[in-house]
Amino acid sequence: MHEAHWKAAEMHQLAAQAHRTAAEHNEKGDCTTAEWHLARAREYSDHAYTLAKQAHNKSGEIERL
């Protein structure tokens, strides 16, 4: 069970790093690279949400047993 939560947390961390990288490129005026990193951040964030939701649902199943 903990593994599911860890995977979700890892995806959240990847999303945060991609957001920071996008912000750095945006500040430098490199909008093309910033957009690329922002797209990766969105993908990581969406995946993190899905994993977190699955982990939460599994946690509820364990509690009901």
* Interacting residues of 65 by C-beta distance below 8 A, sequence separation 6+: none
Sequence ranges of the domains in the chain: 2-64
Block means of pLDDT (10 residues each) for the chain, 65 residues, are 86 97 97 97 96 85 51
- Please give, one letter per residue, the 3-state secondary structure of 1-65: CHHHHHHHHHHHHHHHHHHHHHHHHHHCCCHHHHHHHHHHHHHHHHHHHHHHHHHHHHHHHHHHC
Give residue 63's pLDDT. Answer: 52
Per the confidence metrics, is the pTM higher than 0.85? no
Q: How far apart are CA 36 and CA 44, in angstroms?
A: 13
